[in-house]
Amino acid sequence: MTSSVLDRFLRYVQFDTRSDDSSTTVPSTASQLVFQNALAAELRALGLRDAAVDGHGYVMATIPATTQKTNVPAIGFIAHVDTSPEMSGAGVTPIVHASYDGRDIVLPDDPTAILRLADTPALAGQVGHDIVTASGTTLLGADDKAGVAEIVTAAEYLIAHPEVPHGVVRIAFTPDEEIGRGANHFDVARFGCACAYTLDGGSRGELEAESFSADLMTVTFHGFNTHPGYARGRMLNAIKIAAAFVDRLPGQLSPEATTGREGFVHPYVQQSGVDRTTVTLIVRDFDTAGLAAKEALVEGLAREAAAAFAGSRVEIAVTEQYRNMRAVLDRHPDVVEHAREAIRRCGLEVVEKSIRGGTDGSRLSFMGLPTPNLFAGEHNFHSRLEWVSRQDMQKAVDVIVALCQVWEERCKIGWHSEDL
Ligand SMILES: [Zn+2]
C-alpha 318, offset from chain centre: 23
Taking alpha carbons only, the member of 342, 351, 215, 228 closest to residue 284 is: 215
Entry pTM: 0.90
In this predicted structure, the answer to whether residue 419 has a pLDDT above a threshold of 80 is: no
Beta-strand relationship, 264-271 and 276-285: antiparallel
SS (H, E, C) 220-286: EEECECCCHHHCCCCCECHHHHHHHHHHHCCHHHCHHHCCCCCCEEEEEEEECCCCEEEEEEEEEEC
- Output the CA 176–ligand 1 centroid distance in Å: 10
- The DSSP code for 119 is G
Mean local confidence (pLDDT), 352-364: 92
Indicate left, alpha or beta for 260 from its phi (over 0: left) and psi (-120 to 50: alpha).
Answer: left
**Cα diameter, the chain:** 86
- Output the CA 70–ligand 1 centroid distance in Å: 34
Active site residue 20: no
> What H or E segment, with its residue span, contains residue 288?
helix 288-307
Considering 16, 42, 82, 210, which one is annotated as catalytic? 82
d(CA 374, CA 372): 7
pLDDT, tens digit (0-9, with 9 covering 90-100), for 260-273: 999 999 999 999 99
Beta-strand relationship, 206-211 and 373-375: antiparallel
- The DSSP code for 118 is G
- Output the CA 414–ligand 1 centroid distance in Å: 37
Q: What pLDDT score was predicted for residue 2? A: 63
Beta-strand relationship, 114-115 and 105-106: antiparallel
Whole-number percent of the chain with pLDDT over 90: 95
d(CA 406, CA 420): 15
C-alpha 207, offset from chain centre: 13
d(CA 93, CA 90): 9
pLDDT, tens digit (0-9, with 9 covering 90-100), for 37-79: 999 999 999 999 999 999 999 999 999 999 999 999 999 999 9
d(CA 246, CA 251): 10
d(CA 324, CA 212): 5
Active site residue 82: yes
- Output the CA 300–ligand 1 centroid distance in Å: 35
In this predicted structure, the answer to whether residue 415 has a pLDDT above a threshold of 70 is: no
- Output the CA 356–ligand 1 centroid distance in Å: 13
pLDDT, tens digit (0-9, with 9 covering 90-100), for 337-351: 999 999 999 999 999
Mean local confidence (pLDDT), 349-371: 94
Measured between alpha carbons, how far is residue 16 from residues 24, 121, 176, 328, 360 in Å?
19, 29, 13, 34, 21
pLDDT, tens digit (0-9, with 9 covering 90-100), for 151-210: 999 999 999 999 999 999 999 999 999 998 999 999 999 999 999 999 999 999 999 999
- Output the CA 208–ligand 1 centroid distance in Å: 13
- The DSSP code for 411 is P
- The DSSP code for 140 is -
Q: How many alpha carbons fall within 13 Å on the CB side of residue 219?
A: 34
- Are 195 and 75 contacting, i.e. CB atoms less than 8 angstroms apart? yes
Measured between alpha carbons, how far is residue 91 from residues 87, 112, 327, 392 in Å?
12, 19, 41, 24
Q: What pLDDT score was predicted for residue 393? A: 98
**What does the buried/exposed string (b/e) look like for 67-76 if buried means 16 or more CB atoms within 10 Å of the residue's CB?**
beeeebbbbb
d(CA 132, CA 107): 11
Considering 143, 156, 177, 341, which one is annotated as catalytic? 177
- Are 128 and 161 contacting, i.e. CB atoms less than 8 angstroms apart? no
pLDDT band at 359 (very low <50, low <70, confident <90, very high): confident
Taking alpha carbons only, the member of 177, 93, 196, 187 closest to residue 139 is: 93
Phi and psi at residue 39, in whole multiples of 5°? -65, -45
- Output the CA 63–ligand 1 centroid distance in Å: 24
Q: What pLDDT score was predicted for residue 300? A: 98
In this predicted structure, the answer to whether residue 414 has a pLDDT above a threshold of 60 is: no
Amino acid at 251: G
- Output the CA 3–ligand 1 centroid distance in Å: 23
